[in-house]
Amino acid sequence: MNRNPIIPFLLIIFLGVGLVFLLSSYGANTSDEGEKDAATEQEGGEDTASSGDFDAEGYAKQNCASCHGQDFSGAMGPALQGTSMAEEDFHDIVRNGKNAMPAHSEDQISDDDMKVLYQYFTE
């Protein structure tokens, strides 16, 4: 019988590539869980937004800038920098959303952190 040596070679290559993808996807999932566990431990065991050293500028750049502009002077959403909006209105819109503005739960930003964020925009 005449055996083709290329078939075992290809089989080994495909199994090796498949194993690499399997292990990398497993590693990606476990590292995400580890980061979440570490964040939960730092927050005292609760899975909510922290109110310790809240970085209002960082939060705003990550969550608000895409709609309200990089300098928060307005874009798709209204201007936030130098806003004259009452704090209660700001809190209500962030918590419940309005038009295209999505609602942000207590798990995403605590009430205390929202006060700091409001002060950042009114400075």
Annotated binding site: 64, 67-68, 101
Residue of 64, 59, 111 lying closest to 87 (CA atoms): 111
pLDDT digits (tens, 9 = 90+) for 61-76: 888 888 888 888 878 8
Known binding residues for heme c: 64, 67-68, 101
Low-confidence ranges of the chain (pLDDT < 50): 38-51
Mean pLDDT of the chain: 78
Tally of CA atoms within 13 A in the half-sphere of 39 that contains its CB: 12
pLDDT at 2: 65
pTM more than 0.85: no
pLDDT digits (tens, 9 = 90+) for 10-27: 889 989 888 888 888 776
**DSSP-assigned beta bridge partners for residue 101:** 98
pLDDT of 19 reads: 85
